[in-house]
Structure 1
Amino acid sequence: MVVAARGAADVAGAVRYAAGRGLPVRVRATGHGLPGDSAGGLLISTRRMTGLSVDPVARTVRVAAGVRWGEVVAAAEPYGLAPLNGSSPGVGVVGYTLGGGLGILAREFGYAADHVRSLDVVTADGRVQRVALDAEPDLYGALLGGGAAGLGVVTALEIGLVPVRTLYGGSLAFDGREVGPADALRAYEAWTRTVPGRLTSSFAAVPYPDLPALPPHLRGRYVLSVRVAYTGDDGAELVAPLREIGPVLTDSLREMPYAESRTIHSDPDFPHAYYGEAVVVSALDGEWLGGIEPDAGAMCVVQVNHLGGALSRPTPNAVPYREGRFLVRLLAMGGRERARALLDPAFAVLAPHTLGRAAPFAFGAGDRAGGLFDPETRERLAGIKSRHDPANLFRTD
């Protein structure tokens, strides 16, 4: 059964209906990610819940569960404000934030979850509750970053905005067949040790197929890129050492309005089919890249995000592994077994430095729950789950 909810009352009614019949409940928000198997249960779709309002004095935005980040960026821009959104404007606000929310300016401002003022949540008893640090603090802390724990259906968020109008950002790209990927990654890692805490960046390795639909400079290339976002005045000076990695294929670094920040990563505005996994690591080298280069037999996209800065600050939520230095993400195309054959050896090399898995980027490639939280956080979430959903209505397996 599918419920196409248009408001919190629809969600509450659906939850009461499911609870009364012992049906497991899953939720699909905007559709960029899928909620898992809903066979034999009830699926609540919240994408039609699209309310959005900005309070420029309080520097907050209130969003319903179906709102996407591109809409929030556009609504906040006239006031000189910006949300802590990610790289893709088509991603939904609620799902992204419940997973923690690693955004464009994350090292300066922290996770998006760190800026949530309150949540409207339908709990397993079918009630709509306002949850905040001063009202249900345990549930507040568990929902933010603990989205995988299955604690309820979030129908709206109130989130803090930051006073950012412009930034220095973009990407430098190199040909991965001319510049050694491992050497490039080592150079990037060394560079991250020199930058201020306000500068957010990532490294990516993307094999592009030789297709006419792609720009000529990308067709058939293995592109290595470093993406940067920074609100300081000395951005050009800080990124200058990156140009020594090798001949630059493309350079989009510039001062830009925040509304153009989507061009830093230029993500597709629609989801793609792939399997993926991600881990937070305490150290990084480039050796593991050798087994997943384009000639390894399957297409694999690599992304490494520099952590630290404001991301390491302790906050009253469930976002784990804040001491990590990097987030390593691998996306593999093809069937599950083929993907695992590519991903498993790479993550095995990273294992000595791995703190844990990153829940928002575990895309169907393995165990849904294992390793997503440190033992203390996992135990705390289990206790909150047992109190708020003892019947496991919101299934997480």
Structure 2
Amino acid sequence: MNFADRTTDLLVLRPGDPGYDDELAGFQTGFTHRPSVVFAASSADDVIAAVRYAADHGLSAGVQATGHGLPGACEGGVLVTTKRMDRVAVDPGARTVRLQAGVRWGQVVAAAEPYGLAPLNGSAPSVGAVSYTLGGGLGILAREFGYAADHVRSLDLVTADGRLHQVTRESDPDLHWALLGGGHNFGVVTELEIGLVPVRTLYGGSLAFDGREVDPAAVLRAYEEWTRTVPDGLTSSLAAVPYPDIPALPPHLRGRYVVSVRVAYTGTDGDQLVAPLRESGPVLADSLREMPYAESRTIHSDPDLPHAYYGDSAVLSGLDVEVGGALLAATGPDAGGPMCVLQISHLGGALARPAPNSVPYREGRFLVRLLSVGDRDAARAVLDPAFALLAPVTIGRALNFAFGAGDRTDGLYDTATLKRLAGLKSSYDPANLFRENYNVSA
């Protein structure tokens, strides 16, 4: 089933037009696109019109849903905004959901919940589901079910020639492979159909420690040892957040350095599995519990207010806890510089299984993400030395967690994957129309 096109007038905006700035506003406030023309799409027909306009006028074509993962500030070109394309339809019998390009994960969770089903969504309900899936999609239950991209059935895609295609593994195996991991390099996805999993409840939440009362490196050491013992179905991460002392924060967080372990698990022995972590030191907060999947957003409690941020990631072959301790020191509250959030995600399990898509580095054991709030140059002054510490065990970077790093595409794919993607790019987009992204140049 495809959604019928809406019969609305296409809204086209240019710099200086009323509504232009509001249309471009997204979650990232540190920078924004400044396109020559904005097509505020409500349907696949609108997207087709935008892509044909870009091609006819020799302009680049980009796409924005929620504005979370912008590569950087882009000047000129055509930008297709898809936030009006927000329809979701669940097929409970087939355990699938069809969603449009502007749909956010929170909408999908809410639509699937009445049927005892869940999507393979990320931690933040406000993130766009399509873009996240095209970048792989590391979900709350990733070690049990794999990447979101592994579960995509079909995609409706407007290619550089302004034509709409329905892409499946059977109809277009090469393009299907490229889209799932290749981001927005091959066109504008207007809809996709993706599998759901039969999950109604889970054991999840976090154990938080005060990083000034408990040695953060000791918590990291305990966490790394613990990950060696857990079943494949348990997904977890460690986060270290030096909260500023500002009135906007709840009193219990102001000025604290919080080190926490987040857990998501559909098994029945969750309390027994996390027991060793509780011995890491005095617990500041413990939210671990059985919960409806609809409350899974509380595991990470990601901020929902737009702000300025920069970040990057490193996929690791292993985690040396001594290096990890140095990483905590380099990004913690005593390091100076802007606030820096560290997250270390445990990979493996279903994430390591081969799949017919271009999501790379499935052999990775951990993913390190660093995100700095505020100015780009100040952020790089913290992020670059921190990632340098990890260089000996870094095998690549993750597309979904490169925030404002559009001038860097190295490491996003392994050599073989990049070569195949570039070859397909030359076939499907020889003029590199879709280049306002982490670009795979032909």
Same fold? TM cut 0.5 = yes
Matches of residues 311-330 of structure 1 in structure 2 within 5 Å?
311-330=351-370
* Residue identity in the other structure for 1:318: S
C-alpha distance after superposition, 1:265-292 (max 9, x if no partner):
1112234311101010011122322211
Aligned with residue 154 of structure 1, among 182, 189, 195: 189
1:171 counterpart residue number = 206
* Residue identity in the other structure for 2:120: L
Gaps of 5+ in 2: 1-36
* Residue identity in the other structure for 1:244: E
Q: Are the equivalent residues in 1 in contact too, given 2:69–2:404 (CA < 8 A)?
A: no
Aligned with residue 76 of structure 2, among 40, 58, 79: 40
C-alpha distance after superposition, 1:65-115 (max 9, x if no partner):
011111111111111100000111111110110010001000000000000
C-alpha distance after superposition, 1:269-323 (max 9, x if no partner):
2343111010100111223222111111121100010000000000000100000
Matches of residues 1-397 of structure 1 in structure 2 within 5 Å?
1-34=37-70, 36-147=72-183, 150-284=185-319, 285=321, 286=324, 287-298=326-337, 299-365=339-405, 367-395=407-435, 396=437
Q: C-alpha distance in 2, partners of 1:17/1:383? A: 25
* 1:212 Cα offset (Å): 2.6
Moved more, 105-114 or 27-36: 27-36
Q: C-alpha distance in 2, partners of 1:366/1:344? A: 15
C-alpha distance after superposition, 1:91-142 (max 9, x if no partner):
1110110010001000000000000000000000000100010011111110
Q: C-alpha distance in 2, partners of 1:15/1:62? A: 23
* 1:4 Cα offset (Å): 0.1
Q: Are the equivalent residues in 2 in contact too, given 1:26–1:38 (CA < 8 A)?
A: no
Partner SS state of residue 46, structure 2: helix
CA RMSD of aligned residues (A): 1.2
Partner SS state of residue 331, structure 1: strand
* Residue identity in the other structure for 1:257: P
Q: C-alpha distance in 2, partners of 1:365/1:23? A: 22
* Residue identity in the other structure for 2:83: R
* 1:367 Cα offset (Å): 3.2
The number of aligned residues is: 396
Q: C-alpha distance in 2, partners of 1:18/1:80? A: 43
2:10 counterpart residue number = none
Q: C-alpha distance in 2, partners of 1:192/1:27? A: 38
Partner SS state of residue 342, structure 1: helix
TM-score normalised according to structure 1 size:
0.98
Q: Are the equivalent residues in 2 in contact too, given 1:205–1:223 (CA < 8 A)?
A: yes
Partner SS state of residue 248, structure 1: coil
Partner SS state of residue 22, structure 1: coil
C-alpha distance after superposition, 1:369-392 (max 9, x if no partner):
111000000000000000000011
Q: C-alpha distance in 2, partners of 1:53/1:134? A: 23
* 1:336 Cα offset (Å): 1.9
* 1:10 Cα offset (Å): 0.4
* Residue identity in the other structure for 2:328: L
Q: C-alpha distance in 1, partners of 2:115/2:406? A: 43
Partner SS state of residue 90, structure 1: coil
- Identity percentage over the alignment? 74
Q: C-alpha distance in 1, partners of 2:122/2:364? A: 19
Gaps of 5+ in 1: none
Partner SS state of residue 390, structure 2: helix
* 1:181 Cα offset (Å): 1.5
* Residue identity in the other structure for 2:172: E
* Residue identity in the other structure for 2:241: V
Partner SS state of residue 296, structure 1: coil
